[in-house]
Amino acid sequence: MADYLAGAYPRLARGLPKLDLADLPTPVDTATIRSGGRSCVIAIKRDDLTGKLYGGNKVRKLEYLLHKAQRRNAGRIATFGTVASNHAVATALYARKLGYPCTCLLSNQVKTPGAVRALNLHLANETEIVRYGGSRKTRIAILREHLWNRQVFLIPPGGSNWLGAIGFVSAGLELAAQIESGILGAPDRLYVANGTMATAVGLSLGLALAGLETEVQAVQVTEDFVSSPAAMEKLTIKTALMLNRLDPSVPADLAQRTRYVFRTGFLGDGYARTNDRTESAIAIAREQLGLRLEATYTGKAMAALLDDLETRAGNVLFWNTYNSRPLPATTKRPADTSGLPEAFLRYFD
């Protein structure tokens, strides 16, 4: 298992210990894609293969976050997400692997097959599923009921704080090492779904540390109250500050060296809501690239890539953040629904 952060910045890595949950480096594939009469060879970073238990972009974050939980002598892991949250599923699966019970505080979203599969995965994993939402007073009451006096280590939505972003600082250095080894040429643009922002922030910082001029196309897939240019800048600055504080050899102006574009225009009608461009991108990825994408995150990032192919030349990389590991998930209504909040039964109708 390769730790590219430790290789480049050993002092920094000593201050940021982590677990070995991911199978790294993830491979890079190349393929030809055709859209709008144009044909282009693109690179694909296969972060869908980060872990054998569950792939996708969450594993890199959880290596750091769950190590901190161990250091804090946590008795339980808890996190937030929507009903279909890949982050909530990944957190619950890896928490159980490490021997922790897990509480997932889940909010409603539009009905999707992914929501049903996620709920069934939680049930099979014995996750404590809690409906989360309502007024501020109601949310505080829920947190007190389910987190108080339980030795809980609380992971933020998407695993997205400065510590979670470190996993993708290392990922940026990993990509730089693959470029240096000749696996691929340096991309001019890197396309990645931008939900709670730590993935794109970490990649931008890691690429800047490596001295690459790749521009990260951070494709917005969540509403403005979750992701915004101001919030992304704030997380970038905070993460860079912590890197420099832990290791002064990290440039103090690292945040200013990042190259990213906060891409709007592909969210459509909102989080987890699909649209024609997203569905077309998913179909093209399936038929031409052999990739299984989905409509909430990766389909929208691919739609942005395809849109740019019409007018922009250059080397392009698509960072696949969606788990491709087979899971024992079903879309059937469970025989025993006692582990589900009553309000979530509607997802099986």
Q: Which residue has the tokens 């225009």?
A: 265
Q: What's the pLDDT band for 35 if we cut at 50, 70, 90?
A: confident
CB 80 within 8 A of CB 174: no
Q: How far apart are CA 87 and CA 157, in angstroms?
A: 8
Query: In this model, does residue 328 exceed pLDDT 90?
Result: no
Supply the mean pLDDT for the chain. 96
Residue 111's CB is within 10 A of a number of other CB atoms, namely 15
Same fold, 4-57+161-319 and 58-159: yes
Predicted model pTM:
0.96
CB 93 within 8 A of CB 53: yes
The domain over range 4-57+161-319 is classified in CATH as 3.90.1720.10: no
CB 119 within 8 A of CB 131: no
Question: Residue ranges per domain, the chain?
Answer: 4-57+161-319, 58-159
Q: How far apart are CA 130 and CA 78, in angstroms?
A: 10
Tell me which residue of 1, 9, 11 sits closest to 169, measured CA to CA: 9
Tell me which residue of 50, 44, 11 sits closest to 28, measured CA to CA: 44
Residue type for position 292: R
Angle at Cα 327 formed by Cα 325 and Cα 329, nearest 5°?
A: 145
pLDDT in tens, 277-327: 999 999 999 999 999 999 999 999 999 999 999 888 899 999 999 999 998
Q: How far apart are CA 319 and CA 45, in angstroms?
A: 5
pLDDT in tens, 132-147: 999 999 999 999 999 9
Residue 213's CB is within 10 A of a number of other CB atoms, namely 11
CATH fold, domain 58-159, is Rossmann fold (3.40.50)
Q: How far apart are CA 88 and CA 78, in angstroms?
A: 9
pLDDT in tens, 43-77: 999 999 999 999 999 999 999 999 999 999 999 99
Q: How far apart are CA 345 and CA 334, in angstroms?
A: 10
